[in-house]
Amino acid sequence: MRDWKSRVAAAFAARRVVPDADVVEELAQHAATAFEAARADGATDPDAADRVDRLIAMWCDDPAVALKRPKRRSAVTPPSDDRRAWSGTGQDAVYALRLLRRQPGFAFVVILTMALGIGATTTLFSVTYGVLMKPLPWPEPDRLVRITETRQGKEPRVRGTMSNGPYHTWTADHSTVEGVGGWINVASAALAIGNGEPTPVQILNVTPSLFTVLKARPLIGRLFVDDDADKLGTTPRRVVILSYGLWQERFGGQPDAISRVVQLDGKASIVVGVMPKEFAFPDRDTRAWTAWTPAPVRLPNGAMAMTIFSAMARLRPGITAQQATAEGTARARSAPDPGMTAVALFGGNGPAEIRAVPAVDQMTADVRPALLVLLAAVVLLLVTATANVASLQLARAAVRRRELAIRAAIGAGAGQLTRQLIVENALLGIAGGAAGIALAVAMHRALPTLLPSDFPRVDAIGVDWRVLLFAAGIALTASVVCGLAPSWHARRIDLVEALAEDGSAPVGHGVRVRTARTRALIMAGQIAVSCVLLVGAALLVRSFVALLRADRGYDPVNVLTARVSLPQDYSMERRITFLERVAERLRAVPGVRIAAYGNALPLLTSGGFRGFKMRPPANPSIEVDVNVMQRVVSPDYLAALGLRLSEGRAFTPQDTMTSPNVILVNRSFATKYLGARPIGASIPSLGMCRGDRDRWEVAGVVDDMRQGSVADPLQPEIFLPAQQVGCANAVSQAIVLVRTAGDPLPLAATLRSLVREQEPALAVDQMMTMEDRVMRALAKPRLYAVVLAGFAIFAVAIAGVGLFGVLSYSVAQRSREIGVRTALGARPSDIVRLVLRQVVIVAGGGIVIGLAAAFVASRSMSTVLYGVAPQDPLSFLAVPVLLIAVSVIAAIVPARRAARVDPLQVLR
């Protein structure tokens, strides 16, 4: 008797294959029986042996035999009795990890998509939370209110400020608030210690009460007391409190800094305190505080004074902002009438209305709408990223139906299968969430440089436990949502259908169609979301371009600008002499075309405001209140800034103290007050310290220019020649402008040294090209546009890739049908049409829904748009075209694949 077992084993070994022992035994028995049968048929012994050897050889050639026999005895082992909900989760996790390692591409795409979605959402949440919702960093911040004043509903020239009259009456007697504190931004001062070089430092003038209102405590030294501030509103800068940073920088953190004398703009000031490291008011740029009190309305010399400044109050416990508003307004009524100054500062001299608004709301009012729009956008983005992952999971689940069916067949309950899928998704969620948080942390590092410098509360933005909790929450939610769709399908797996699908039979189609339909729905939703985001982005981009292209009335190209703060005790003569010398020296520098100076610059400082009464030339019988922005400028100022003279003449060097007084007015002024023939009109008493020669003749009309944002309303303005102005305070800070032939920035050092050469104690700050100033002013709209465009591109990329996936899947599923169609005579173009029809249905449906949603949603954007309507037809037309293009591109490859389907391949 032959040893078939060793023959079979030897045959396998010759091919370096080692099957399981019982496979060898079974095959050996078959061989033995076959040998006996052949002998019984009459074959000779060697003949029969030969026949069996050939059989063995054929077995060896079939790789399936070499496979190990299934070791698990699952078919006979009853399912585990341990049915506690989460028993075996560890096993699930191990299994899931193994599965994912086998599909690195899938895992990568899912984790990347989730990371981007979660990272973006977390960052935006953190910014929104930090800026809009986080309590201010002072004790009991909900009791802090910002105080603002209007007169007959008219806003002051500096938005969100109050004036000295109501301030003094309210601080003298108050019942709803614990105190009112005010502050006013001053130009940076030159700080020098001992004989050191003066350097510009951002200083804030604050009332002694402000720190009390904030409940701030000094790190060392003391806070201000009432006596520190000059009661007449001037700023002698006798005492100064340093920020922690400045103290470290200039005094090395030595406690003996207290009582040291420093020079501020050449004036001796005593350091009385240092604030703690975390104290920043109103922002981190402010390095020191000096004591100040708003001037009384009635000055001792009988003149009327009006100042506008920012103010904050602390409500008494249990008092609402409305109650404080009522008290403030009532107290304001007893304030003395400031007369024409109120017209200058408020555009009207009606009774003052005081408003108390929660401090956070007031600080963040201008970024709130945009932040909320972006937050909504990022939520949409997260939804679409999640949907994309769910769609991928669905496709994968459809492919895994057999695996799931077998697991069900060997006793896994629907619950266990769902758990398996949820564990898998949780793993992906954890990985995606961790990557998303890492991305968010990286974004936070970059935020201070990415956010515009005037973005409020950047300090309050940070990754704290709330942000982490939020990120973990959305990661978990997203992954559970992603897992639910496929596990819902898994619950409905029909064993037979699923297993039969493995054969060549075209059954189970219904299930696949269900999956495909769900994916197509998700797809349409993603296109709709992309559509909404694209429309939003298009609107913001168009709005930004409109802002960029808007006519500001001046030409910002090739202009260098800087500010020089002039000490209060400089006479007007000294100021003009100094500025003339600097301008003269600058004109001699190669590349300089025009050097000029003035007291005003768009986007930096408006110069001054003035209210006066005049009789309009068209109707001299009435007297009107006029309020203007007042600019004191050198003759070349208009040319340096590129202002356009539309009528009359500009200033010349011959307009001096001895020549007739002339002014220029802007178009708004001329239209509003002077009528059709402005040139030659006479303007009385502008209070320019010219005694009885205070009459001015309009010599020219300048086209309107935009002082601030192009969205702000135009204001009447007057220009006065610096050489004809007598009051020193008309030019409290000087702006130097240089128009150059080429890039103006290299001149910065020259400008600085020329100023120092003339007046070594003065500091130059705000050195910037006019173009940079414009771009900085547009930083917020640009940021919003860039962020939303980024979201939209991401969403479109997801939708494009998703569409590609759905179509490829559907082409693969329908290859049999396509094969039959081709076999029956369909041409490739017919097949392409078949696929494109699907695209049209899915993308078209998504676009229609998306456009409708965008139409509704874009209304909420009206406050952040400029120069473009929320229902801008171009945006609403371009977006569908782009989306259709993307859809067609996504469809090209699957469609061609479908057209190339070989009926013989798919039908066999």
Partner 1 sequence: MASTSLERELKRGSAEVLILALLERRQRHGYEIGRLIDERSDGAITFHVASLYPTLYRLEDKGFIEGRWVERSGQRRRRYYRLTAAGRKVLASQRNVWGQFFAALNRVARIRHA
* Positions in the binding site for partner 1 (CB under 8 A): 22-23, 25-27, 29-30, 33-34, 37, 55, 58-59, 61-62, 64-65, 67, 69-70, 74-76, 406, 409-410, 495-497, 499-500, 502-507, 820, 824, 904, 907-908
Residue type, 530: S
CA–CA separation, 490 and 425 (whole Å): 14
Grouping H, G, I as helix, E, B as strand and the rest as coil, residue 201 is strand
Write the Ramachandran bin of 691: left for phi over 0, alpha for psi from -120 to 50, otherwise beta. Answer: left
**Helical axes 815-823 vs 779-813, angle rounded to 10°:** 60
Rounded to a whole number of angstroms, the CA Rg of the chain reads 40
Q: Using CA atoms, how far apart are residues 714 and 173, in angstroms rounded to an integer?
A: 38
Residue with tokens 């502050």: 183
Q: Please, what is the minimum distance in Å from the beta carbon of residue 829 to partner 1?
A: 22
Rounded to a whole number of angstroms, the minimum distance from the CB of residue 4 to partner 1 is 11
Rounded distance between C-alpha atoms, residue 265 and residue 245, angstroms? 20
**Quick one: 407 or 444, whose CB is closer to partner 1?**
407
Burial class (CB in 10 A: 0-12, 13-18, 19+), 159: middle
The amino acid occupying position 809 is: Y
Give, in order, the Cα–Cα distances in Å from 723 to each of 201, 360, 581, 699: 30, 45, 14, 15
- The Cα–Cα gap between 391 and 113 comes to 12
- The answer to whether the CB of 417 falls within 8 A of the CB of 88 is no
Closest contact distance (angstroms) between CB of 513 and partner 1 is 17
Helices and strands per DSSP (H, E), number in the chain:
28, 24
Find how far residue 842's CA is from the centre of its chain: 32
Q: Which is nearer to partner 1, 392 or 408 (CB)?
A: 408
Upstream peptide bond of 781 is cis (omega within 30 degrees of 0): no
Phi and psi at 866, nearest 5°, equal: -135, 130
Q: Which two tokens stand for residue 505?
A: 């039979």
Kindly report the CA angle at 162 between 143 and 735, in degrees rounded to 5? 125
Residues listed for the chain: 908
Q: Say which DSSP state 228 is in.
A: G
Peptide bond into 46 cis (omega under 30): no
Strands 662-666, 695-702: pairing kind = parallel
CB of 67 to partner 1, least distance (A): 7
Shortest distance, CB of residue 64 to partner 1, whole angstroms?
3
Rounded CA separation 159/150 (Å): 10
Which residue, 34 or 232, has its beta carbon nearer to partner 1?
A: 34
Quick count: other Cβ atoms within 10 Å of Cβ 28? 19
Residue 838 CB, shortest distance to partner 1, in Å, is 23
Q: Which is nearer to partner 1, 2 or 672 (CB)?
A: 2
